[in-house]
Amino acid sequence: MTALTLIGDVSTNGIMNFLAQSGLGSSFFGQIGVVLMLGMAAFGSSVGIGAAGQSAAGAWGKEGKAGKTLSFTYIILLGMPISQTLYAMIVMNKIGDVLGNPTFAAANAGLLLGIGIATGLGEMLSAWMQGLIGAAGIRSLSESEGKGFAFLLIAMGIVETVGIFTMVFLLGMIPALPATP
Contact between 44 and 84 (Cβ < 8 Å): yes
Task: Name the packing angle between helices 83-99 and 28-65 (round to 10°).
Answer: 170
Q: Which domains does the chain have, with CATH numbers?
A: 24-171 (1.20.120.610)
DSSP state of 82: G
Across 71-100, average pLDDT: 95
Contact between 140 and 56 (Cβ < 8 Å): no
Question: What's the pTM?
Answer: 0.83
Coil vs helix vs strand at 179: coil
Tell how far CA 105 is from the center of its chain.
22
pLDDT digits (tens, 9 = 90+) for 132-168: 999 999 999 999 988 999 999 999 999 999 999 999 9
pLDDT digits (tens, 9 = 90+) for 10-32: 555 666 566 556 555 567 888 99
* Confidence at residue 4, expressed as pLDDT on a 0 to 100 scale: 47
The dihedral built from the CA positions of residue 157, 158, 161 and 163, taken in this order, carries a sign that is negative
Query: Which of 8-17, 43-52, 81-90 has the weakest average pLDDT?
Result: 8-17
* CA separation, residue 67 to residues 57, 70, 75 (Å): 15, 9, 19
For 46, half-sphere exposure in the C-beta direction (CA atoms, 13 angstrom radius) is 6
